[in-house]
Amino acid sequence: MRRVSSWGRLSADQHEVIALSDPAKVSSLVSGSNKPGIVHGMGRSYGDVCLNPGGVLWLTTGLDHFIAFDDNTGRLVCEAGVQLRDIQRLGIPRGWILPVTPGTQMVTVGGAIANDVHGKNHHVLGSFGNHVQRIKLFRTDGEAIECSPQTNPNWFAATVGGLGLTGVIVEAEIQLRRIAGPWLDTETVPYPSLDEFFQLADDSEAEWEHTVSWIDCISGDRGRGLFMRGNPTDVTQLPEPKGRKRTMPFVPPVSLVNRLSLRPFNIAYYNFKKWQAERAIVHYEPFFYPLDNLLQWNRMYGPKGFFQYQSVVPREVGQDAVQAMLEEIAHSNDGSFLAVLKTFGDRQSVGMLSFPQPGVTLALDFPNHGMRTHKLFERLDAIVREAGGRIYPGKDARMPRDLFEAGYPRLNEFLKYRDPGISSALSRRLMGS
Amino acid sequence: MVDLTLVARDAGRIERVAADLKVRSPQSHIRVVEAEFLEPVAIQDTVDEIISQGAVDVVLIAHGSLPEQAGCQNDLRACRDALEVNGVSPVLYAEAFAKHMAQADHGIIALIGSVAGDRGRKSNYIYGSAKGLVTRYAQGLQHRFSGTAVKVVLIKPGPTDTPMTSHLKEQGANLASVEDVAQKIVDAVDRCQAEAYVPGKWFLIMMIIRHLPRFIFNKLNI
Ligand SMILES: Cc1cc2nc3c(=O)[nH]c(=O)nc-3n(C[C@H](O)[C@H](O)[C@H](O)COP(=O)(O)OP(=O)(O)OC[C@H]3O[C@@H](n4cnc5c(N)ncnc54)[C@H](O)[C@@H]3O)c2cc1C
Ligand SMILES: NC(=O)c1ccc[n+]([C@@H]2O[C@H](COP(=O)([O-])OP(=O)(O)OC[C@H]3O[C@@H](n4cnc5c(N)ncnc54)[C@H](OP(=O)(O)O)[C@@H]3O)[C@@H](O)[C@H]2O)c1
């Protein structure tokens, strides 16, 4: 037994960890388990989707081999524990990039599929699952299932965004996308209020592949922030940045993100960035993965850990709902510097339980202050529920079951594809088993 | 671009590694040879066949398996198997390559020993003594080839996060990452370092362990 936490460090329960490192042995190890398990990839999910206290965790980081890559078509076949970082480092020098990537590249292919992750270019390219061509899945009864948008499409739709509950993904085929080089042409535009955010988003979507914004959820009640947009560029003659890694060396006894540090931090960040608001050519690593060089930054929230609250609400009611959430947070004085606001496009997600849907998504980190934090979440839940929105299970550790059911209308259809030998803390909390 | 021959006991498993390497380096030529690891005549044939394909610049002898110490104490066959695969087998392979490299006066022989070979400990002295054999062997080979163009590199990894140690990880051991250790092995071979502890901190730790007086050492539960 070993203590395992997810990214939010809200718990550190004992798990029976079984490393899956040989694809030929996955089936027997998984079907030989006498109690239910769940796959744990890089554990970059914030909540309990990748945890199973007291039960089995199948660790997939050893399933890290590439299987085939065609330089002419950009088709990649790899094992499910391969990290997105390794795909980017393989592909980009050869002119191919992952079409969709989340804000950290230290996640596995299996994790990216199971949470159907999204990136800054959702309005152009949808989510990760839109680019997966084939999945090989092992069930705990020993059955192997190959699925794709064409073959076994229901299994495919259940497994993409399926939170690891339909089986163990061992292998996937992904379509990469042509790219000229590792650089992006970027622009940062400060905005004074939510009105301008929505205007900027509307104006940018046609011309810019990547859009995202940082929003200051404390200092003002109008919602000022910075809008960042970028496009791939064919500039190639720049020196690669030096990848200097820093580690948060210890867990501070209290959260470094607190009432005293937050307000000055937000003001400083905003003003500092405001001077820099301009066009710049930026390497893909700092652009897509700004925090990856500060290893284990999650420790700065102290021993009690932290929550991320990410919701998406339909565009029609988006502005009002976001405004209402920001007001709640401003009143609570409990916000954080990682508040991210972004619009999702109309591209349909393939998964029955995929999180992305057309609208606007707001993601905020909150240090864990127990009841106080939970009370705030209940007020945010009410706004999301009212707006007809949903919460991202990959980030969640606490949403109420009724909100999950309301947000994911295909849940009943999905349940038919669950593997009875698989269970997570999240599935027990939100699906009863 | 390299010309690489992978030698392993199980072709199916080594094909997985070969496919991965081909994706990473499509221009490289990668060949897979299924081989015998204990039988001297078969080892000689395998090495002769490889040499017949062209001169070898670097050979990395990396196979090994971590036996359960208690199993070795209770069953002499398990004990012998562990000594053979971790000690005798690497030496036979190295010796077969050494003969060819001596003739060509060219080449690097890199052997993976272990920090476990530096001093016998109750928790793994059968494995440790096999790795100790590799250490003494590498020293002798370095003596033999001093002043020639043949170089011998002995690598001593500390506990590393590979399939060999997945059960230790379960017990919460602190293991070095494979990427880090692999990079340091490549650096050591590039520099033709005679002896390389990877990660480097094990040099200090093992220096202390080696020099602890017996009356203290024997009281330690390691
Ligand atoms: C700094 C940071 C930024 C992030 N930014 C974004 C973002 O922009 N967009 C976004 O969508 N997400 C984002 N995330 C969340 C992260 O991308 C997802 O949680 C991702 O799924 C984590 O992958 P993982 O390999 O760590 O999987 P884990 O967190 O270990 O597991 C996630 C889920 O995948 C399942 N799973 C993993 N591998 C397999 C497999 N082989 N077979 C079956 N099931 C499997 C697990 O059971 C679990 O249900 C971010 C996270 C961090 C820490
Ligand atoms: N991991 C550590 O902490 C650590 C520490 C110090 C030293 N080392 C040494 O590092 C080397 C590499 O080990 P690793 O950690 O990478 O372990 P690993 O992943 O288990 O690899 C061991 C390799 O040895 C092969 N092998 C095992 N038994 C064999 C046998 N009887 N005959 C032929 N081949 C056999 C395996 O082949 P198959 O694929 O066919 O099984 C595999 O390729 C070994 O010499 C080991 O002793 C490891």
Query: How high is the pLDDT of residue A88?
Result: 98
At A312, the pLDDT band (50, 70, 90 cuts) reads: very high
Q: DSSP letters of chain B?
A: --EEEEEES-HHHHHHHHHHHHHH-TTSEEEEEE--SS-HHHHHHHHHHHHHTS--SEEEE-------HHHHHH-HHHHHHHHIIIIIHHHHHHHHHHHHHHHHT-EEEEEE--GGGSS--TTTHHHHHHHHHHHHHHHHHHHHTTTSSEEEEEEEE-SB-SGGGHHHHHTT---B-HHHHHHHHHHHHHTT-SEEEESTHHHHHHHHHHHS-HHHHTTS--
Say if A25 is an interface residue toward chain B (CB within 8 Å). Answer: no
Say if A317 is an interface residue toward chain B (CB within 8 Å). Answer: no
- CA gap B104, B99 in Å, rounded: 9
Q: Using the beta-carbon criterion (under 8 Å), do A65 and B12 form an inter-chain contact?
A: no
Instruction: Give me ligand 1 centre to Cα A347, in Å.
Output: 21
Q: Using the beta-carbon criterion (under 8 Å), do A62 and B23 form an inter-chain contact?
A: no
Instruction: Give me ligand 1 centre to Cα A187, in Å.
Output: 28
Instruction: List the one residue out of A274, A273, A279 whose CA is nearest residue A233.
Output: A279
Q: Is B167 in the pocket of ligand 2 (CB under 6 A)?
A: no
Q: What is the per-residue pLDDT across A162-172, written as a single tens digit (0 to 9) for each?
A: 999 999 999 99
Query: How close, in Å, is residue B163 to chain A by CA atoms?
Result: 7
Q: What's the mean pLDDT in B211-218? A: 94
pLDDT more than 90, % of chain A: 76
Q: Is B2 within the bounds of a domain?
A: no
Q: Is B152 in the pocket of ligand 2 (CB under 6 A)?
A: no
Q: Atom 39 (ligand 1): residue with closest C-alpha?
A: A110
Q: Is A340 in the pocket of ligand 1 (CB under 6 A)?
A: no
Residues of chain A contacting residue B24, judged by C-beta atoms under 8 Å apart? 66, 90
Nearest listed ligand to the Cα of residue B62: 2
Say if B24 is an interface residue toward chain A (CB within 8 Å). Answer: yes
Instruction: Give me ligand 2 centre to Cα B63, in Å.
Output: 4
Say if A68 is an interface residue toward chain B (CB within 8 Å). Answer: yes
Least confident residue range of A63-72, A334-343, B13-22: A334-343
Instruction: Give me ligand 1 centre to Cα A303, in Å.
Output: 22
Q: DSSP letters of A282-297?
A: EEHHHHH-TTTTEETG
Q: What is the mean pLDDT of chain B?
A: 96
Range of the domain at B186: 56-217
- CA gap B6, A394 in Å, rounded: 40
Query: How high is the pLDDT of residue A272?
Result: 58
Residues of chain A contacting residue B171, judged by C-beta atoms under 8 Å apart? 2
Is residue B11 over pLDDT 60?
yes
Structurally, how many domains does chain B consist of?
Answer: 1
Note the pTM of the prediction, 2 decimals: 0.94
Query: How high is the pLDDT of residue A265?
Result: 57
Query: How high is the pLDDT of residue B162?
Result: 92
Asked if residue A110 lies in contact with residue A41, where contact means CB atoms within 8 angstroms, the answer is yes
Q: Using the beta-carbon criterion (under 8 Å), do B166 and A66 form an inter-chain contact?
A: no
Angle at B216 between CA B210 and CA B222, to 5 degrees: 70
Instruction: Give me ligand 1 centre to Cα A43, in Å.
Output: 7
Mutate to test the interface with B, among A67, A73, A90 (most CBs of B within 10 A): A67
Q: DSSP letters of A88-106?
A: HHHHGGGTEE-S---S-S-
Q: What is the per-residue pLDDT across A182-214, written as a single tens digit (0 to 9) for each?
A: 999 999 888 888 999 999 999 999 999 999 998
Domain-by-domain residue ranges, chain A? 183-400
Residues of chain A contacting residue B180, judged by C-beta atoms under 8 Å apart? none
Residues of chain B contacting residue A65, judged by C-beta atoms under 8 Å apart? 16-17, 19-20
- With CA atoms as reference, the chain A residue closest to B20 would be A66
Query: How high is the pLDDT of residue A271?
Result: 65
Query: How close, in Å, is residue B179 to chain A by CA atoms?
Result: 12
Q: Write out the E strands in A20-164.
A: 37-40, 56-59, 66-70, 75-79, 96-97, 132-138, 144-147
Q: Using the beta-carbon criterion (under 8 Å), do A67 and B171 form an inter-chain contact?
A: no
Q: Is B63 in the pocket of ligand 2 (CB under 6 A)?
A: yes
At A410, the pLDDT band (50, 70, 90 cuts) reads: very high
Is residue A225 over pLDDT 60?
yes
Q: Is B72 within the bounds of a domain?
A: yes
Nearest listed ligand to the Cα of residue B131: 2
Query: How close, in Å, is residue B178 to chain A by CA atoms?
Result: 10
Query: How high is the pLDDT of residue B174?
Result: 84
Say if A69 is an interface residue toward chain B (CB within 8 Å). Answer: yes
Query: How high is the pLDDT of residue A251?
Result: 66
At A249, the pLDDT band (50, 70, 90 cuts) reads: low
Query: How close, in Å, is residue B108 to chain A by CA atoms?
Result: 27
Q: Is B159 within the bounds of a domain?
A: yes
Quickly name the fold that domain A183-400 has: Alpha-Beta Plaits (3.30.70)
Nearest listed ligand to the Cα of residue A423: 1
Q: Using the beta-carbon criterion (under 8 Å), do B16 and A69 form an inter-chain contact?
A: no
- CA gap B121, B100 in Å, rounded: 36
Residues of chain A contacting residue B170, judged by C-beta atoms under 8 Å apart? 1-2, 16-17, 19
Query: How high is the pLDDT of residue A78?
Result: 98
Say if B171 is an interface residue toward chain A (CB within 8 Å). Answer: yes
At A260, the pLDDT band (50, 70, 90 cuts) reads: low
Q: Is B121 within the bounds of a domain?
A: yes
Q: Is B187 within the bounds of a domain?
A: yes
Q: What's the mean pLDDT in B105-110? A: 98
Q: Is B111 within the bounds of a domain?
A: yes
Of B16, B19, B170, the CB nearest to A17: B170
Domain with residue B151: its CATH number is 3.40.50.720
Q: Is B14 within the bounds of a domain?
A: no
Q: Is B78 within the bounds of a domain?
A: yes
ipTM confidence score:
0.91
Residues of chain B contacting residue A24, judged by C-beta atoms under 8 Å apart? 12-13
Contacts made by residues B142-149, CB under 8 angstroms, sequence distance 24+: B142/B194, B144/B98, B145/B98, B145/B102, B148/B102, B148/B105, B149/B105, B149/B106, B149/B107
Q: Is A394 in the pocket of ligand 1 (CB under 6 A)?
A: yes
Is residue A177 over pLDDT 80?
yes
